[in-house]
Structure formats: C-alpha cells, structure tokens
Amino acid sequence: MTEHWERCIRLKEPLKTKPFLIFAGIAGLGLLLGLYRELTGLGYVTGLNDGYSWGLFKNWNVTALTALGSGGYAVAVIAWIFNEKRFHPIMRTAVLTSLLGYGTGMLALGFDVGRPWNFVWLADPRTWNHYSVLWEVAVCMTSYFLLALDVENMPPFLEKMYRSGNSKKKERAMKVFNFMQKTFPFGIALAFVLPSMHQSSLGSLMYLAGPRVHPLWQTPLLPLLYLLMAYILGFSCVLLVLALSAYAWNLGWDAEILGRLAQVMSWTTLIWLVVRFADLVHRGVFGLAFTFDKFSVYFLVETTLVLVPTVMLLSKTQREAPGSLFRWTFLVALGGLLYRFTPTTLAFSPLGDYRYFPSAFEILMSIGFTALAVAVFLYAVKTFAILPASQGKIAAEEALRPFDTL
C-alpha cells in the first residue's frame, strides 16, 4: 500500500451509528451508576476493602489507561524533539486520544475518592504535602489537563470557529491561534515536562508500599519503567486507533508513518526490557520468575506479551503488513497495560488476609468511562478535522491552513 496521509479530514459519516449508540449507552449506564455511588457510598458499589483500597478506578482507569492516553505526549516527543516531521499529520489524532484518556481517567478518579468536596484544597498551596507522590500526580495531572492538553486540542476547534462564517468568531479564532503560534515552544515544553513528571510518579506511588509489592515489580526504578511504558502504550494506542480508523473509514494505509511509529515503539520497548531485566538481575530476584506461583505466572505472561511482539516488530515485513502490525501492537499494549496494573493490584499483598475482585458495578462503571472516551472520539472525528487521510478519501472537510501547522 502506498497511500500517504497528506491531510487531516472530518469524516463524512453519520454520527448516530450503531457502534456510537452502543458506546454512548454503556457510557450513560456507567455515569448513572456513578451517581448511585455518590448517593450511597463506595462500600455499596465496589468490592474495595481496607486491604485493597485502590481498585479498578485508580489502578486501571488512571494508572493503566492514562498510559494509553500518553499518545499525545509520546508522539509529540518524536515529532518535535527528534524532529520526525512525518508524524505531523497524526498529531491531532494523538492529542485527541490523550485528551480522552486523561479526561476519562480523571473522571474515574473523581468518582473514586471518598471526600471529593475537599478537592478544593488542592488549589491552596498551604495544604500541599510536597513529599507526597500522590500530591505530585494530582497537581501535575490537573495542570497538564488544564494548561497543555486542552490547548493542544484547540486547533480543530478554532478551525471550526473560523469556518463558521461569523466574522467575530473568525477574528477570535485567529487571535487565539496567533498567540498559540507565538508561544508554541513554551507550550510544548510544558506538554513534555508535565507528563514526564506524573507518568513517572504513577510508578513511584507503589514504591511507598515497600515489601507489600512483590519483588519482581518493586524497585526504585519504578518511575523510569512506568515512564518508558507510558511512551510504549502511547505509541501503541495511537497505532491501534489509526489502524482501526483507517480500516473502518477507508482512510488509506500510510505504511511509512505506521511502520516508523511501530519501529520507534519497539525500540522503546527494547530499552524498557533491558532496564527491566537488568534491574531484576541486579536485585537478584530474577529467579523468582520461574517459581511458577501466581506472581511468576503474571510476570511470565506480561513479559511474553511485551517481548515477543517487540522482537517481531523489529522486522520490516511484520511492520508493513497491517494484520501483523495490528496484532503485535495489540499484544504489546496488553502486556504494557498489565505491567502498569500489576504492581498496584495483582502483585500487591496487603498485610493480613484480604481478597479483592471488582464488583459488577465497579466493572460496569469502569467500562462506562472507557466507552465514554470511545463515544466522544467517534463524535469528535465526525465533527472536527482530526483523522489523517490520503488524497483519495472523500471528506466532509479538510484541515485548514494555518490551523493544521500546530
């Protein structure tokens, strides 16, 4: 396939398709259950207990899924810092996945905390405990969402304002855009520093639990490993979204972009694997991987899911074939998500005799948040010019200069 993604387009598909309605329905159900949780208390709605007090919302929707939502961050690093200009057409898709990943993650967090009315104190520096890793995550994620992510996602919106025909709106859109153009380096540096900080801090969170996290995962290198995995999952999420979108809406298959992205991802994964294994050997716990107790099994599954696809993706032919590209990327994503999730829950053994499995409500709420992200994505790509497409694709609208330069 020799199609190139040369412009960003707004899809000419109808909005209310069956998939959209299904996802919106699940999202609605999840939010309704969330309302019920607010009225009754966490104990009635979740399977959480004093031993496993962090469950699906924090450990999956935030810790694991915001790594998937690091696409905007990871691709921006490659596009701007490593100057790979070919990735510019996919930037809008990448930052959209980030917005949705972080947005729904923070929504889940909002439903998970027990006393959300005290969140206002986060704005008062006198109450800050700057030694707390969780404080860092909270302040940094909020700042990233408010200062960087929403700004990065503005161009399609500004574009729409510009097209609206209303001269006042046009003027305002251009004013904002010009400001963004002028301050771009400062903005993107923020969009690099902030997620670097909190994605690594998400790893440091479990360091405080010390011996209660199994030695195969507990290490002072947790921040580094989580940060690298954020890159890997970010790349994989963008890859998977683009692959599925290209297939679903005939966008054309830009083998160069996708192949290169997969290559970068597999190099990053190699680095991650090297760091991981070096750390295990250095701490002398590598042998624990072969005791075949449940922890060893988790480790072997996770490692296989990450290692095998990485090796396969080093081969050009594997990267060029859409089927294998998707398959290996999908498996890497599964393995990566498992890695981010495991130290918080599967490898966490609280003092005492506790067991935890999310309740049905909890599961439904969790997938509700994810479904919300998908539903909003479907809405966005049909409302704004976001997805990249080859010249042949018929579109409702194309991205407008100069808005597509950001």
**Residue 373 near another protein by CB under 8 A:** no
Min dist. Cβ of residue 30 to another protein (A): 13
The correct pick among 16, 18, 85, 168 for binding another protein (CB under 8 A) is 85
Please tell me the distance from the alpha carbon of residue 282 to that of residue 7, in angstroms, as a whole number. 48
Kindly identify the residues of this chain, within the stretch 323-362, that bind another protein according to CB under 8 A.
Answer: 323-327, 330-331, 334, 348, 350-360, 362
Angle between helices 360-383 and 18-40 (to 10 degrees): 140
Side chain identity, residue 251: L
Q: In whole angstroms, give the CA distance from residue 234 to residue 74.
A: 6
Which one of 14, 16, 18, 114 is in contact with another protein (CB under 8 A)? Answer: 114
Cβ atoms of 73 and 195 closer than 8 Å:
yes
The minimum distance between CB 4 and another protein, in angstroms, equals: 5
User: CA 400, CA 146: separation in Å to the nearest integer?
Assistant: 25
Give the count of residues interacting with another protein (CB under 8 A): 100
Neighbours of 38 (CB within 10 A): 13
Minimum distance from residue 296 beta carbon to another protein (Å): 20
The interface with another protein within residues 151-210 (CB under 8 A) comprises 181, 184-186, 188-190, 192-193, 196-197, 200, 204-210
Edge-to-edge strand list for the sheet holding 7-10: 387-389, 7-10, 397-398
Among 19, 25, 287, 402, binds another protein (CB under 8 A): 402
Q: Which stretch binds another protein (CB under 8 A): 11-19, 26-34, 107-115, 379-387?
A: 107-115
Closer to another protein by CB, 150 or 256: give it. 256
The values of phi and psi at residue 99, to 5°, are -55, -45
DSSP state of 388: E
Give the residues across from 9 on adjacent strands: 387, 398
C-alpha distances in Å from residue 244, one per residue of 7, 16, 22, 312, 331: 18, 18, 17, 20, 15
Give min distance, CB of 377 to another protein, in A.
Answer: 16
Is 305 or 380 the residue whose CB approaches another protein more closely? 305
- Least separation in angstroms between residue 342's CB and another protein is 15
143 binds another protein (CB under 8 A): no
Residue 211, interface with another protein (CB under 8 A)? yes
Which tokens sit at 317? 């032919």
- The interface with another protein within residues 224-253 (CB under 8 A) comprises 243-244, 247, 253
3-class SS of residue 102: helix
Residues 6+ apart with CB under 8 A from 132: none
Shortest distance (Å) from residue 306 CB to another protein: 15
Sequence-distant (≥ 6) Cβ neighbours of residue 78 within 8 angstroms: 84, 87, 261, 264
Would you say 303 or 366 has its CB closer to another protein?
366
Q: Whose Cβ is closer to another protein: residue 225's or residue 290's?
A: 225
CB nearer to another protein: pick between 24 and 338? 338
Q: 290 or 393: whose CB is closer to another protein?
A: 393
Q: How far is the CB of 290 from another protein (least distance, A)?
A: 25
Site for another protein in 23-62 (CB under 8 A): 38-44, 47-54
Instruction: Report the residue count for the chain.
Output: 406
Helix pair 322-341, 222-249: axis angle to 10 deg:
140
- Smallest gap from Cβ 57 to another protein, in A, equals 11
Nearest to another protein of 281, 360 (CB atom): 360
Report the DSSP beta bridge partners of residue 398.
9
Q: Closest separation between CB of residue 216 and another protein, Å?
A: 18
Angle between helical axes of 91-112 and 18-40 (0-180°, round to 10): 30
**Which residues inside 271-330 make contact with another protein, applying CB under 8 A?**
321-327, 330
